[in-house]
Amino acid sequence: SFADSSLLSERKRRDREERLNIVLWRQPLVTLQYFFLETLINLKEWTIKLWHRRSILVSFLLTLAVLTATYYIEGTHQQYVRYMEKKFFWCAYWVGLGILSSVGLGTGLHTFLLYLGPHIASVTLAAYECNSVNFPEPPYPDQIICPDEETTEGSISLWAIISKVRLEACMWGAGTAIGELPPYFMARAARLSGAEPDDEEYQEFEEMLEHAEAAQDFASRAKLAVQNLVQKVGFFGILACASIPNPLFDLAGITCGHFLVPFWTFFGATLIGKAVIKMHIQKLFVIITFSKHIVEQMVSLIGAIPSIGPSLQKPFQEYLEAQRIKLHHKSDSGVPQGENWLSWMFEKLVIVMVCYFILSIINSMAQSYAKRLQQKMYSEEKTK
């Protein structure tokens, strides 16, 4: 029995290594073939699920038809329709970025660093430059423009900036909470069915439970502390883990699913922690960091670096000056508007991250199909 168990573990390890080699840059044709086959299987499964829930589908289609008719029929209601449309797509944009942040765009890099942080920073810089937050409601035009009314220096408050970006920040936080659901559902389904999911994080979690008392290194103790906090304290333990920047929160989702914590207990605490508490902490940090006097001090400190300081300081000064000119309606005043290398690097970074994310999805789906083939082989061997 021990020998059979060892052979089975060794075979699973080899199969896992074989699946991990199915990537576009090693086996492009096989990877694309498996990706398309997995896509067809998923479409078939979703179609069957929709057919079993056809009453819900019909209700959704009828609601969609009514909303479409309301959207296209002329009348006094159109101003409210346009307003709701703008708000809906603006909120959906930030919720989607929050969900992508939970999966890390395939590399672990959060969209807070790419989108929400720069957005809050640009609104903060504009608020201090304009001494007002009365620029257009989101979604903003291509650039934020200072209002025409006269304002007094120093009239802007920290709370006004927080209120200005609250909708975007809360929607992004709600998206990150939604993105934490897959580990919870995976662990819950595994516990209820008794199956062993081929997921590295879940296997690591089970190994940690088996060797909990022997854990010595800091990382293992930290994971064990998160697991104990969530398991013993419940709602408030999940809330505490979700309310602070915590790279181990995936473990909290797996723990809640494994110990069958009710869905609304887990999701409610995660939503409050990420969309309200943690989001205000991050927002406050960015706003304080990019307040006018701190930014000026940071730029002057860059210039004080020996030898390379002035050359590094110049692009930052040019960028800030260009932003001030844009905010005061002077973008066409004859000042050359050359592309700043910071914005150029940011655009290229975003393109690279999105491309890598798409490649990671293709690889992941191809590996899922390979796992189906291996499981089919297991079942055929058992029936012989």
Q: How many CA atoms lie within 13 A of 72 on its CB side?
A: 5
Q: What percent of the chain has pLDDT over 70?
A: 73
> Would residue 52 count as lying in a domain?
yes
Q: The pTM is what? A: 0.72
Q: How many CA atoms lie within 13 A of 104 on its CB side?
A: 7
> Would residue 54 count as lying in a domain?
yes
Task: Give the domain extent around 42.
Answer: 27-73
pLDDT tens, position by position, 62-84: 999 998 888 888 888 888 888 88
- Report CA torsion sign: 206, 209, 212, 214: negative
> Would residue 66 count as lying in a domain?
yes
If one counts every other C-beta atom within 10 angstroms of the C-beta of residue 187, the result is: 26
Q: Which of 236, 133, 215, 278 is nearest to 204 (CA)?
A: 215
Round to whole Å and give the CA distance between 179 and 103.
Answer: 7
Query: Is the Cβ–Cβ distance between 226 and 241 less than 8 Å?
Result: yes
The tokens of 98 are what? 């929050």
pLDDT score, position 216: 55
> Would residue 44 count as lying in a domain?
yes
pLDDT tens, position by position, 150-204: 666 656 788 888 888 898 899 999 998 898 888 888 878 777 766 555 555 555 5
pLDDT tens, position by position, 293-308: 777 777 677 777 777 7
The band of 328, judged by pLDDT with boundaries at 50, 70 and 90, is low
> Would residue 104 count as lying in a domain?
no
> Would residue 296 count as lying in a domain?
no
> Would residue 98 count as lying in a domain?
no
Highest mean pLDDT among 262-276, 292-306, 320-334: 262-276
Round to whole Å and give the CA distance between 110 and 176.
Answer: 10
Q: Which of 238, 245, 278, 242 is nearest to 261 (CA)?
A: 238
> Would residue 59 count as lying in a domain?
yes
56 against 376, higher pLDDT: 56
Contacts of 227 (CB under 8 A, 6+ apart): 205, 208, 209, 251, 252, 255
Average pLDDT, the chain: 77
Number of structural domains found in the chain: 1
pLDDT score, position 288: 83
The alpha-carbon radius of gyration of the chain (Å, integer) is 26
Residue type for position 70:
T
